[in-house]
Every structure is written in C-alpha cells, then in structure tokens.
Structure 1
C-alpha cells in the first residue's frame, strides 16, 4: 500500500507480528512504513492521507512529540497560554483531548469500534455537539481537529515526514524532546496500564523493543532527527522536557515569546502553578478515571500509578540494570549524539 507522503506500508506477518501480539496483548494487526520503519496499528492506513493533506491554518500551533515526552503537559500549557491566560475560561473544564485534539488518535481507538464503543467514549458528546453533520466513523479526533475553535492547538506523535509538507510554512510547531531513558520507563508504564497496548513482557524486553525501533510510532532517533534538521526554521520551537522541569517559569517565558502571547508576569506565574504536576494530576484523574477497567488495567494503576505517574526526570535510575543502561547508551550514541543532540539525564 502506498500513501500520499510517499511511504509504502506492509502488514507485519509471521514471527514478527506473533511476537508483538504475545508481548502486547492489545495489538491485532500492525503496519510498517518505509522509509523510516514507522510502526502503527493497521487502522492508520484509513487516516494517513487525510492527516497528510490536513489543511492547517496560520493560527494553528501543532505540538509534536515522540510518545511520553511531556505531551499532555505541553498541551495544557499551550492551550492555557493561548486561551485561558487569566484562568477564568469555563472551557478549561472540557477534556484536554477535545480542547487540543490528538489528530491521529483515531488509529488507536477505531479498528473494530462499534456504535456502542463510540457512545462510551467520553469525547463522543463533544463530537456530536461540534460535528453534528459528520460521521464519527470518518475519524472523531481528526474531525475535532478540523472543527476546533481558533486558535487551534493540535497534538501529534507523528514525525514531520508523515505530516503536511507545508506545515512549518503555514503554522507554528512546538517540538518537545525528552531523554530516551526516561522515555523508556514512562512508555513502559503507559503500555502496561492502557489495554489498547496491554504490554505483559519484561522491562528488558521493552528496552530491546525500543533499541530495535519496534515500538509503536517507530524510531525515536529518526523522529528526533527530522525535527532537529528543521530547528532553524522560524516556525519551529524545540523544547526539552528536562529544561521545562528544571525551571518552568523560564521555559514558559521563552515559549511565550515564540507563541506571541505577550503574557504578564502574573499570568505566567499563575500558569506555572496551574500546570504543575500536582495540579494537573488532580484535574487529569477526572478525565482519565482510574476505575475505567474497560480501557485501563486498574490493578497495575493501583500498584504502580495511573496516567499521571511521577512526572519526574531521572526516574530511569531506579529501573535500569547495568546491562540495559549499556545497551541504551550505545543506542543513544548511534542515534542521537551522532547528529548533535545531548540530553540531560537528571535535574
């Protein structure tokens, strides 16, 4: 199968798909795109060209990250800076996934979704209200992205090569990166608690999936490189999770300049507090309820933490074995340091 982006896709088969299904009990069919080795649920093929041809507006801000690099945090920061600087916008009670839609999320939740599944989705009521004349089977999140009120804030984990080639010439993009060791730990937890992934393998096996570029969304190194090569474009702003954690006020102040939101000192300080991990965890747990056994592994959440787990930098030190650390260090040298990226591994 061929896509508008120029990529070709093929379904995983044989031992490769069987191994994925064994370790990720939520997976059915997966598709691999070349070039790039990007890995997605097979439902991606239904939306690939629509996403690639998505019509962005000059007022859009696209938040781009590899999974587990501070995406949800950045969504809340940017939406609040642009739409709720005085913290008095009643729409802040609307789920973040509606206020700042995850454009390709349909590939993660569609597949064999039924009318009943759609009705249970907490986003469905907002979709029916804002998209009354549209068919949810054509993509709930894709169409929410299209119909969101301006200024639109849109989230994606896709790399530049799978998005509109005119993206940076049309709107602003904020790319957030995080050190790969913490990404692995956070991605593992995410994959264990969310039944769509249903990861049941070991920590060591998950590390191997990462260094082999066999996790959903594919190679972090290639994802990061595509952004790094565009870092001098005036419409791209690159942030590092560790810098945001170390000094959020400074990070937000710099982001304010890029976005042109012209916030006051008081507004910035209030947003720092409002988007702190503790505040977001309290609000977020209402949007990602821990008793939702249909979508979450509640037993693991009770034991190891929910969607909002720690929000720390450096927690990898509590998880990695010397062997795993050596393996990932070698991967970092080959895939990150080789083109000039140097991460902070604790703050």
Structure 2
C-alpha cells in the first residue's frame, strides 16, 4: 500500500505535468492541440508520450506500426498482423482468422492505450514478437524504443491525407450529434501546419531520414505503393520483420491469400467493421468510418484545384533538399 507521502508525491507530479502541458502553445482554432518540440500533439496524448520511458518496457522483438492519422494505419496493421501471425492463423486453412471477426486496431493495439492502462495487462501478456502501433513523431520516441525495436512507417500523399482526415472527423462529429467540420477552416489549419501529430511533412521526413540511416530498424512505405502492388509490399515487410516467405509458402500462394484477406473490400465486409462502434475520448466511433474508399487521388472530388496547388507548393517547399517524394 502506498504511503500518504507517496500518494501526495504522485499527485504533485501529476499537477506539475498538467501545468507544464497547459502552458505549452496552443491554437485558437484547435485548442486541444499543444505545440511540443515543434509538433502539434493532442493534449491527452502528450501526457502519455512524455511518460513512455517510464511506463512501457519494450522488448527487442517488438515491431511497431507508425503513421500520421488517416495515412493508411488500419490497412498497414492488417498487413503486418497477417504476415507476423501467419503460422498461427494460416490463410490456407478453414480455421477462422481474427481479421474476419475483429478490427485491425483490436489485433494491433495503439501504444497510448497501453499507457492509459486500458490494455496494459493484455499487452504485457502478448507473446513475442509483439505488434503495436503509434502516431508519435520519431523525435518524440524514447531511446528504449528507437534503439531496441523495429518500426514500419507508412506515409500518404498530403492532399489525400487531408481529405481522408476531413471526411473521417466530419463524419465522427456528425455521428455524435456535433456540428460538422468546415473543410475550409480545417484546410487553413492544415496549411498552417496545425495538424494532430503534425506537421505531416516533418513527421514523414523524420522517419524517412531514419530509414535511410538505419534501414534495419525503420522500414518506410508509401500508401500508394501498397495500393499499386500489395503483394510486393508484403514481401518487403516480411523480410524486414524477420519472417520472410519461404519457397513453399510462395508456391502455395500464401502471399496472394494474405493479400486477399487484407484487401480493403474484404476488411470492409467484416460484420464487426460494418456494424460495431467503439468509444474514444468520450465519442462513439463507428468502425465503418475506418473504411471509406481506400484509393488514391480522391482529393480531386473534395478540394478545388487551387487548394490542391497550395498543398503541392507547401510539399515542394518542405521536401526541398531531401530525397523524399510523395
């Protein structure tokens, strides 16, 4: 049992942390975000990120899926899970596969859920290799994760990322009887680099540079190449995670079966993903919102040509001097 002094010390530390975070810069049009070390982090998530070093014990075999929000996270989780767990859940048998009854986010939990304590016991009991995820910028990760674990990162073309984010959050608000989000207002915030976990460009550049410096630790993927040739991407992921597909698996069509299992159409048809909801930060989130179109170039249906040119101009400026291209 904790002593009164220990409890008082914990409360004081929490109060100090809350004061520190509340004193960080915010934006009048997005007050829930705080600017921390050049990134705009949701206030509640910032507490968790800053406590990572103390609250999470990584294992050398851990693999993390990382991305900006709405950049292909759900699909990448499905691919990674199906590859890493294919011995236990073979796509060639009639046994039910978890991805046919569960959402990928349930198969690959977010690390912030662990920090909140919601899934701590579950994650601690997970056999190695564990598969987890986060949206955290690379520079904000603790050394214990950077030095020990592998990270698979996916980026997405900025105009499509913005469009997907707006469609998701607008639907989320409407489903919770809250006024929808004005696309023009959100667009101005995006162009001002005020984005959850963003700026998007710096987020991608950090992981890109690390993938060049330490290719055995960070695998950098593009959403568009996942759409174009998912089987090729899955083979790259398997090699990176240390579970390359064998000649026998190749001849038996395992890669193709996993590709079909994880296809957008397949995941969208799962009953749990069509009809169920989960609660996040006090709001009901329909799982169907995680599966909209799953394509490339949908921004042309929602943004004006001028809006597209403006994002392209920012992208060109931000990536200047780097070898990264969207």
| Fold similarity call, TM over 0.5 | yes
Query: Which of 212, 219, 235 is the aligned partner of 2:199?
Result: 219
In the aligned structure 1, how far is the partner of 2:181 from the partner of 2:321?
A: 30
Structure 1 unmatched runs, 5+: 3-7, 21-28, 108-137
1:161·1:226 contact (CA, 8 Å) conserved in 2? yes
Work out whether residues 191 and 198 of structure 1, in 8 Å CA contact, stay in contact via their aligned partners in 2.
no
SS in 1 for 2:289: coil
Specify the alignment match of 2:223 in structure 1: 241
CA shift at 1:97, angstroms? 2.7
Deviation at residue 144 of structure 1 after TM alignment: 4.0
Whether 1:99 and 2:107 are equivalent positions in the alignment is yes
Which whole-Å deviations, capped at 9, do the CAs of 1:37-68 have from their partners, x for residues lacking one?
3221x322442333244221121110010111
Whether 2:183 is the aligned partner of 1:203: answer yes
1:73-125 Cα offsets, whole Å, 9 max, x none, are 11111111111351346544444333211112579xxxxxxxxxxxxxxxxxx
Residues paired across the two proteins, number: 291
Aligned residue among 251, 258, 261 for 1:274: 261
What pairs up with 1:104-183 in 2 under 5 angstroms?
Answer: 104-105=112-113, 138-141=116-119, 144-183=122-161
Shift, 1:288, TM fit: 5.9
Q: Which structure 2 residues correspond to residues 76-91 of structure 1 after superposition, within 5 A?
A: 76-85=78-87, 86-87=90-91, 88=95, 91=98
Aligned partner of 2:75 in structure 1 is 73
CA contact under 8 A between 1:193 and 1:296: conserved in structure 2? no
Q: Is the 8 A contact 2:77 2:105 kept in 1?
A: no
In structure 1, C-alpha distance between the alignment counterparts of 2:199 and 2:207, rounded to whole Å? 13
Larger radius of gyration: 2
> How far did residue 326 of structure 1 move?
2.0
Deviation per residue, 1:193-251 (Å, 9 max, x gap):
22489672322222211111222222111111211221131211111110110011111
**In structure 1, C-alpha distance between the alignment counterparts of 2:177 and 2:236, rounded to whole Å:** 36
Would the aligned equivalents of 1:11 and 1:31 in 2 still touch at CA under 8 Å?
no
Superposed CA deviations along residues 126-152 of structure 1, whole A, max 9, x for unmatched, are: xxxxxxxxxxxx421455444433221
Aligned residue among 205, 211, 215 for 1:231: 211
The change in CA–CA distance for 1:52 and 1:31 in structure 2 (over 3 A counts) is farther
Residue 82 of structure 2 aligns to a residue whose secondary structure is: helix
Task: Find the partner of 2:311 among 328, 331, 337.
Answer: 328
Correspondence for 2:243:
261
How far off its partner does 1:156 sit? Answer: 0.6
Deviation at 1:338, TM superposition (A): 4.2
Change (3 A) 1:274 1:197: farther
Partner SS for 2:71 = coil
Q: Using a 3 Å threshold, how does the CA distance of structure 1 residues 56 and 36 change in structure 2: closer, same or farther?
A: same
Aligned to 1:39: 41
CA distance in 1, matches of 2:285, 2:49: 29
Alignment TM-score, normalising by the size of structure 2:
0.78
Distance 1:74 1:324, change over 3 A: same
Q: How far off is 1:173 after superposition?
A: 0.7
Deviations 1:226-281 (A, max 9, x none): 11221131211111110110011111112221122122222111101100110011
Question: Does the Cα contact within 8 Å between 2:235 and 2:244 map onto a contact in 1?
Answer: no
How far apart, CA to CA, are the structure 1 residues paired with 2:36 and 2:278? 36
Query: Cα RMSD (Å) of the superposition?
Result: 3.0
Give the Cα separation in 1 of the matches to 2:278 and 2:146. 38
How far apart, CA to CA, are the structure 1 residues paired with 2:158 and 2:260?
27
Distance across 2 between alignment mates of 1:173 and 1:159: 12
Q: Report the CA distance shift for 1:143/1:221 in structure 2 as closer, same or farther (over 3 A).
A: farther
Q: Could you state the TM-score of these two structures normalised by the residue count of structure 1?
A: 0.74
Counterpart CA distance in 2 for 1:231 and 1:52 is 22
